[in-house]
Structures are given as structure tokens and as C-alpha cells.
Amino acid sequence: MTTQTTAPETPGTPAAPAPAGLIGIPPHIGRALAVGGGVLTIISTFMSWTWTSAFPGDLTVYGYPGGLQVLVLIGGLLTTLFALAGYGIKGLRYVVPSGGDAALKFAALAAFATAWYTVIAISVELGGVVNLDPGGYLVAIATLTAFVGALALPFDQPEPDPIDPDDDSWEKFKNRSSHKWETVKAAFSSRPPRPVGKLPTYVEILVIAVVMALGLLVFTYGIGTQYDELFVGFLITAGFGFAALNKSGLVAQATEITSRHQTITVWGAFIAAALFPFTQTDDQYATIGVYILIFATVALGLNIVVGLAGLLDLGYVAFLGVGAYAAALVSGSPSSPFGVHFPFWAAVLVGAVASLVFGVLIGAPTLRLRGDYLAIVTLGFGEIFRITANNLDGTSGPSLTNGSNGISSIPNLTILGFDLGAPHTIAGFTIGRFANYFLLMLLITAVVVLVFRRSGDSRIGRAWVAIREDETAALAMGINGFRVKLIAFAVGASLAGLAGTVQAHVTYTVTPEQYQFAGPIPPNSAFLLAAVVLGGMGTIGGPLIGASLLYLIPNKLQFLGDYQLFAFGVALILLMRFRPEGLVANRRRQLEFHEEAEAPTVLSKTGA
């Protein structure tokens, strides 16, 4: 709760004015508007917004929110809750540990943006505002009222840093931005959350379970959006809603609790992910899920190379291709010139070892380079692999990969008599082909996470971080830089090959076009690198979340056509502008990008 205070009066000195918001409405009226607007927003979601079911989601039903109304309802609930917390109601102060009103502003913005997007979409698609029912008009007015009320609330103006008269950078700082921009930034800022006392162990475990269940619910809802308007609304609500929870301090408190129980958190995350196939009625969205896991696993392997060792690899997708081709050649495919059919465990070893060998062969002569030179060489390796696989067609070169036709008709995997290509019934749930591969890929992801955690906490992991931070200083301390970097390259390549063995059987066909530097649909080297950077370099959860978003969003934004990559690029630019350390960043990178942050007593090694 933001309190209004005034400076103590002294004789002959007028009292300092009470803090105000971005607009001239008194704060107590603004809070009342926020509460009233939030309540009316909730009520409006139970009303009809349009008279016809032609608009997706059927928003014509009274008493039952559906489609985009559910998202606006969530925004209205958050707005009302955060607004009431500002009154100091007993019990609600735990909802906003940060004590400010920044969370209320973002919650009101989430409801306002989603509601007005829906109203505008109805008007455009159905031919005018005449197609709105009373609920549509009410939600537009209610969300606007709540947002205006939130902007009227006071905010904490950050104190400027002391001015060093000998430092001319102060003049540069004054010219960098206008006073208005600083005011807007302060309006959406919040104080650090209050320290959280250690709760009983069973309570903290319950909190972790709730967080994992909420994550599964959000992911399942996002991946299962059935029409374009709903997915756009989901992005708006999820983006501003997460910002509201972050500004409230709840995210920081949940992070503190999970950091005290890392093992339980990791196990909880994998259990929640394993429940995903059981929430689906068919393989329609399990298909996207298994590709996300493949993409995420490869991104986590790249995180060893880029995030821990600091080696910029622009051709990493080639190692995924090496593993996929190696597994396809021994899979029993009629297109394979070898004519052999290895069991699953042998195919996995072949794919991982083949990628490891290629990683060593490519890394040995090139890892003595640094920076941009190394990036150019790895980019060339990725293109050489794709061109070579395209030329091994029996005409331009030996008959090995069938050229552009690739290796097709790859049979499904069979593990201990369990055919992953056939549906199976488990506890009354029918698990289809892609759900089977999803569970298999989840197991492989668990192995990759284990390797990442163990290697990151080991002596070699600390050497990788030392090389990343300052290679010259690391060499001066006795670290064998070439050997350490080669190990990172080999481990990352083998993990990519491990994922490639499953990808070959999931896609049925392996072709050179699947392994390019850039393309509209991942996995490719550009998207893999973006997943690591945007998710959080050097962390475990960062690449997993980044890869999920980078695969899901382009897949769902295909209705934008030629504007798809433009919209996606704008979103990435905004993310890097306001959170350059990534979605899940370790403490060290937060200090690098936010110099005003207070230095921690102990820096995290991997930021897991």
C-alpha cells in the first residue's frame, strides 16, 4: 500500500504537497474508481457482449463467461484485489508484498487492453459497434474507469543518485530522457518486496505445488486456444498479468521459496509437465508439445556453449541434424543405404556419439578463435552441413542421405515392446502417438537438465563461467582454455544429437531443409540462440521457457501472414528493451544490466 505522507511543517515553511499520480484526479477518488471499475468489469463478464454467435467464442450467453470474457474476468479480479489491498484491509497486505500500486496499474491495463481489443474485434468483424450488447458497452466503460483510477494513484518517485561534480556523465544523463518519460517510468515502478520469513516446510511445498499447477494451467490454456482472437487476448492478459504479479512482489516471494527447495521444484516441474498429455483429448496439441520439448532440449544444450562457456555458436542446429541423420540411418528405414534396424538405446547412442564426434572435429581447429571470428566459423559449419547433406544423393556425391528427399519412412520407436506410434490407454486416458513421444522427450529433457545442473556446479562448470567472464584472466589463473571450451562444445553437441534421435522418429522424415540458420518455424540456429538469450543465459528454466514461447507464438501467429515475423520481431525488441537479462535471469546478469541493483552477498553459479 502506498501511503500519502507530507513533510513536517516548520514555521514559515508550507507543507509539501501530497504525492499524485499521472493525472489530476485525487488519489482517494482514483482508488475508488479502480475498485468500482474492477467490480463492474467482473459483472460485465457474466453478461452478453454481442447478439450473434458469429464472433468466435459465443459471447452471447448470460451468466457464464466464455472465450475472451474469461481473460477479462481474470484481469478484473486482479484489479479489484490489488485495489482493495491499497486500503490496508487485514489479510490483503500479503497480496502486494511490494507495498506499491504498480501492480494495480498493470492489472488494470491487462483488463483494459484485453476488453478493448475484444470490443474492437467484434465491431470490425461484425460491421460496427451496433453489434455490441449492453455487456460489451459496460466492459469498455468499466475497464477504462479502472485504468484511469489506477493512473490517478500516487507512485514512489525514485531518488536520483548523488551528483559527482568531477563526472561529466551527469550532463549526458540529463539529456538522455525527458522529465515526462521519467514520470511514466516511476508510475509503473515498485519498491523491492518485503523480506519473506521462512514458512513451515509443508506450506512452502504447497506453494510450490500451486505455482506448478498454475504454470500447467496457463500453458495448457495457451496451447489449446482454438481461434486467433483468443490467442491474441491470451498474450495480452498473460503479459500484463505477469507484470502485475511481478510488480506486486509475489513472483519474487515465489522465487525465494523455490530457491530454498530446488530439488522439489525441479521434480514438481517435471511432474506437472508429465500431466500435460492427460489434459488433452487428442493429439492435436500434444503435437506442438513434443516439438516444444525437442526445441527446448536443444536450446538447453546450446546454453552450455553460449550461457556457461560464452561461445557464440551460430551453427548449433547442425548437431541436431547430425544426431537425426545418424539415428535415421540405423532406424530400419527403406531409404537408408545401410539396411539395419538398431534398438532404441543403440540408436540414441549412435546419434549422441555422432554429434559428439562432429563437435570435437569442428571445435578442435576453430575454438582457438574468439568472438565474432568463432561465430562466423560456426555459421559456416552449419551451412556446410546442410549443403553436404543435400549433395550426398548419389549424383553429386556418395549415396548416403538421398539429397533433398532425405531419409523417409522412419519407423516408430519400440521400447521394451511398447510401440510409441500406437495409442495406449492408461488409467482410463487414451494416450496417442505424439503424447507417447512427449513423455519420452520429457524423460530425455530430464537427463539434459541433470547434465546441465551437475556440470554447471562442477569444477569444469566454474571454469566455463571463468572463461565466459574473462578468458585472459582465466588463462592467467591456470585454466586450460582450449580444453575447457572443447569440452563445452562436445557436451553441447552430444545433447543436441540426443534430441535429434527422437526428432527423426517423430517427423518420420529427415531432410536438409530442417536444419537452416534461420527460417519461419524453429528449430533453427537463430531461434535456438534467441531462446537462450531471451529465456536467460546460464539458467535452466530460461531456455526451457524461451524455447516454449518462441515455438508456440510463431505457430499461433500464422494468421498474420507476411506480418508474422514483423510482429514477432517487435515483441522481441520490447522484451530486450525492458528485460535484457532474460525472462529467468541469474543474479549476476541482473547486476550486469541493472547497475542500480544492490549487490548480493553470494552470487548464483548457474541461476537454476
How do residues 254-292 score in pLDDT, each as one tens digit? 888 888 888 888 888 888 888 888 877 767 777 888 888
Cα–Cα dist 225/417, whole Å: 35
Segment 388-409 shows an average pLDDT of 79
Residue 259: inside a domain:
no
Q: Verify that 222 and 337 share a domain, yes or no.
A: no
Residue 190's contacts (CB-CB under 8 Å, 6 or more residues apart) are 98, 99, 100, 102, 103, 156, 247, 248, 249
pLDDT at 78 over 90: yes
Note the pLDDT of residue 276: 84
The Cα 424–Cα 417 span in angstroms is 12
Domain end among 225, 252, 279: 252
Asked if residue 585 has pLDDT above 70, the reply is no
Query: Which has the higher per-residue pLDDT, 560 or 494?
Result: 494
369 and 228 housed in the same domain: no
> pLDDT (tens digit, 9 = 90+) per residue, 523-569?
777 788 888 888 878 788 888 888 888 888 777 777 777 777 777 77
**Domain contains 297:** yes
| CATH number for the domain that contains residue 437 | 1.10.3470
373, 420: one domain = yes
CB atoms within 10 A of CB 475: 15
326 and 181, same structural domain? no
| 364 vs 152: CA distance, rounded Å | 62
Cβ(40)–Cβ(145) below 8 Å: yes
The gap from C-alpha 221 to its chain's centroid, in whole angstroms, comes to 15
pLDDT score at 172: 44
Which residues make beta-bridge pairs with 424?
A: 431
The whole-number average pLDDT for the span 174-199 is 50
Same domain, residue pair 344 and 432? yes
Residue 495 lies in a domain: yes
Q: How far apart are CA 320 and CA 510, in angstroms?
A: 11
Is 233 in the same domain as 332? no
Judge if 240 and 310 occupy the same domain.
no
Q: What is the DSSP string of 154-177?
A: ---PPPPPPP-TT-THHHHHHHHS
Average pLDDT over residues 94-102: 78
CA 27 to chain centre: 36
Whether residues 391 and 472 share a domain: the answer is: yes
Domain of residue 90: give its range.
27-156+176-252
Does residue 457 form part of some domain? yes
Give residue 104's Cα distance to chain centre. Answer: 23
333 and 228 co-located in one domain = no
pLDDT in tens, 102-114: 888 999 999 999 9
Q: Is residue 444's pLDDT more than 60?
A: yes
In a domain, 542, yes or no: yes
Clarify whether residues 350 and 449 are in a common domain. yes
* Angle, CA 202 vertex, CA 196 and CA 204 arms, to 5°: 30
Domains held by the chain: number: 2
Residue by residue, DSSP assigns 28-69 as: HHHHHHHHHHHHHHHHHTTS-SBS-TTSTT-TT-SSS--THH
Residues 311 and 376 in one domain: yes
* Domain-terminating residue out of 226, 252, 278: 252
**Same domain? 459 vs 383:** yes
Whole-structure pTM value: 0.76
In this predicted structure, the answer to whether residue 192 has a pLDDT above a threshold of 60 is no
Domain C-terminal end among 206, 224, 252: 252
Whether residue 563 is contained in a domain is answered as no
Look at residue 379 and tell me if it is in a domain: yes
Q: Is residue 488 in a domain? A: yes
